[in-house]
Structure 1
Amino acid sequence: MLLSRRRRRVLDTVGKAPGSIVAPKGAVKGQIRVISYDAKNYSDQKYDSAGDLSKFATKKKLAPVDAPAIDPDPEAPVERPDGVTWINIDGVGDAKMLKELTRMFGIHPLAMEDVANLHQHAKTENYGDTLFFVVRMPTGDNGFQTEQVSIFLIDGIVITVQERPGDCLEPVRHRIANNLGRIRRRRADYLAYAIFDAIIDGYFPLVDAFADRLDEAGVMLESGGNRQLPLHLHSIRGELLLIRKVMNQHRIAIMNVLREEGELISHDTSLFFRDCQDHVQQIIEAADTDRETCGEVRELYFAMLGEKNNDVMKVLTIIATIFIPMSFVAGIYGMNFDPKASELNMPELHWAFGYPFALSLMALMAGGLLAFLYRKGWLS
């Protein structure tokens, strides 16, 4: 139902130790795709397990395979290829894979715990040599729905973890594959920005769709309204409110990114994040405008409904006003006093023109009232 409340998901990690990585129930098992590139070279490969990603690990020392994920113990250094590496994982249903990524790339367990808990709001967190983003990607055709996308920015590496296959990042992959724009000549922080920006741009068609729905509501209103229009407007307004809430989270996340300018985020890339922040602000303003329009259409609907009811009551009042004196005359002649008992008891009953006289009197009274109401302007 449209009026049903949205309930929070029950977390599988409630009561567990901090940093516990538990795959959500029903989650898709992860599919790994790795895109590596620099100004001249490009490769796009798929892998079956996280163990195949060891060659892409950072130049830090890796913890042993059997070491606990929450406190990695450095051991042997592993070299990775030069350039930028984008590791994309579709699905969080494999807790073992997530723990292996935590150990292999030195990711803080608390960050990976947030990856597995899909209720996170958009945010940015700094774990020293790792910058962690959570972005809400719009998805689904049934109203406003989002999917959690987790982004890790490490030296020369960007790791993205999505809830399920399918995203709005194909334009980014197309630019990398075809060496379009500046992305192949930039560092990994620019790739993180490009992914963030592509997700934010995915909200523009969604906001435009809400504008179209409001236009349809306006057409419904002009055509005489519809009993379902208030519920329709309530649904739109609620979803626009959610969009504003989510985009405000992204705005705060980008503000935190701009504070992290340094080793992981260059000054040049921070300028692009500011442009992304402008996009977020545009979406917030568009959502606010549509929400105000939604409220105005609803108020106009009730105003028109009230005016229609007033017109109906006006007609009924006029009819009642006309028939009240006529009912009075009919009531007088319906008292049935016996004229034989007294000469004063309705002598018109024995008059040949008594009935036509009564009807004429009623018609004259009705005509007089109509003329009076017309002169007062109450019939227009």
Structure 2
Amino acid sequence: MAKKQPSEVTHLTTVDRPPGSLIYTGDYTDVSIEIELHCYSQQELIVKRLNRIDQLPDEYDPSCVYWINLIGLHDPEVISYFGRRFGIHEMHLEDIVQVNRHAKVDNAEDYIMSEHYMIYRDEQIHHESIVLFLLRGVVLSFQEYTGDVFGPIRHRLQQPDSPIRHQGADYLYYLMLDRLVDEAGAVLKDLVFQLDDLERLMLDENQSDMRRVYEIKRELLNVKTAVYPLDGLMPMLLGENNRVLSDPIIPYLKDVEDHVDQALV
């Protein structure tokens, strides 16, 4: 399935819908639902790819960390399941399916919810809404379609001696935030370099170069839209109200805050 670019994307509206309505407002309604399950500890790693919620565990081992990544946000019953199973408030479930809104962080009583705009690049630049939940021993991630910035994390999980295998769920959450920031920052810097090169070439008023400059400036705006809100969200995340972040993780998150500042320089 071809991934739509920002200029092609149209979104449904939820005006006049009751609060908590699980109506997906994005464009990827034909994505096959896939659930990526990682269960790991110092001793073992279990990875499963599932296509039904009834294949998820009924019980969760407190000695393990679980990362559950849902791909495809258009099935309200699937989203509702996560609300029931993990005690997620209906308004936060609504945040999952109402995509491409402003980034936000919410410290709930038993979890942290953070909503982001994921930017990454292969042959082209991709823009995708993603919502993360940090619970005790569990990280949930919800993305619109296959493809993300978390490949290096999956690779680290395969290494028994990697620090991630010896840490809790909050360390995994930190790594995911770090990847979101670093990848967006890398795309941003690459676009700036391209723009500088093209502006030097514009001395001959080449129309194709001018058109490319416009395209890059549009992408720069998209990436900055993803990164700038994180500058305000990190202090909220590091506030005193959270109950699921352990003290040793705070310096790591402050490092992510530094990465945000560097990306915006």
**TM-score class normalised by the smaller sequence:** 0.7 to 0.9
2:264 is paired with a residue whose SS is: helix
Q: Is the 8 A contact 1:55 1:81 kept in 2?
A: no
- Further displaced range: 135-144 or 95-104: 135-144
- Unaligned 5+ segments in structure 2 are 1-5
User: Structure 1's 44 and 111: CA in aligned 2 closer, same or farther, altered over 3 A?
Assistant: same
RMSD (Å), alpha carbons: 2.5
Identify which of 124, 129, 148 aligns with 1:148: 129
Match of 1:21 in 2: 22
Residues 45 and 158, structure 2, Cα contact 8 Å, conserved in 1: yes
- CA shift, 1:101, in A, is 1.1
One-letter code aligned to 2:127: T
Cα distance in 1 for residues equivalent to 2:241 and 2:163 = 20
Determine if the alignment matches structure 1 residue 50 to structure 2 residue 50.
Answer: no
Q: 1:267 to 1:261 in 2, by over 3 A?
A: farther
The equivalent residue for 1:116 is 97
1:194 to 162, 172, 175: 175
Whose RCO is larger (CA < 8 A, sep 6+)? 2
Which secondary structure does the structure 1 equivalent of 2:141 belong to?
strand
> Which residue of 222, 226, 244 corresponds with 1:246?
226
1:284-299 aligned at under 5 Å gives the runs 284-285=264-265
Q: Map 1:17-166; keep pairs closer than 5 Å.
A: 17-24=18-25, 26-27=28-29, 28-56=31-59, 80-139=61-120, 145-166=126-147
Q: Distance in 1 between matches of 2:9 and 2:48?
A: 37
Q: Deviations over 1:143-199 (max 9, x none)?
A: 754201111111100011111011110100111111353111111111111111112
- Does the CA-based 8 Å contact 2:133-2:141 persist in structure 1? yes
Larger Rg over CA atoms: 1
CA distance in 2, matches of 1:251, 1:181: 29
Instruction: Give the TM-score normalised by the residue count of structure 2.
Output: 0.87
Distance in 1 of aligned mates of 2:244 and 2:79:
23
Q: Unpaired runs of 5+ in structure 1?
A: 58-79, 286-380
Q: Provide, for residues 323-366 of structure 1, a one-character-per-residue CA deviation record: whole Å limited to 9, x for no partner.
A: xxxxxxxxxxxxxxxxxxxxxxxxxxxxxxxxxxxxxxxxxxxx
TM-score when normalising by structure 1: 0.62
Cα separation, 1, equivalents of 2:245 and 2:229: 20
Distance 1:93 1:114, change over 3 A: same
- Conservation of the 8 A alpha-carbon contact between 2:39 and 2:66: yes
CA distance in 1, matches of 2:151, 2:123: 22
Deviation (angstroms), 1:103:
0.7
Q: SS at the partner of 1:259?
A: coil
Q: For residue 48 of structure 2, give the secondary structure of its aligned residue in structure 1.
A: strand
> 3-state DSSP class of the match of 2:78?
helix
Could you tell me whether the CA contact under 8 Å between 1:29 and 1:94 is conserved in 2? no
Once the two structures are superposed, what CA deviation does each residue of 1:53-109 show, in whole Å capped at 9, x if it has no partner? 24255xxxxxxxxxxxxxxxxxxxxxx442210001111122111111111111111
Flag the 1:107–1:29 CA change in 2: closer, same or farther, 3 A.
farther
- Offset at residue 228 of structure 1 (A): 4.5
**2:238 matched residue in structure 1:** 258
Q: Give the aligned partner of residue 267 of structure 1.
A: 247
Cα offsets for 1:273-305 (capped at 9, x unmatched): 1111111111111xxxxxxxxxxxxxxxxxxxx
Which one-letter code corresponds to 2:249 in the other structure?
Answer: T
Q: Percent identity?
A: 26
Count of aligned pairs: 258
CA distance in 1, matches of 2:57, 2:151: 26
1:279 maps to 259
1:307 is matched with none
- In the alignment, is the contact (CA less than 8 A) between 1:38 and 1:84 conserved in 2? yes
Partners of 1:241 and 1:264 lie apart in 2 by: 34
**Contact 1:134/1:148, CA 8 A, preserved across alignment:** yes
1:110-159 deviations in Å (ceiling 9; x for gaps): 11111011122221112210110112111466875420111111110001
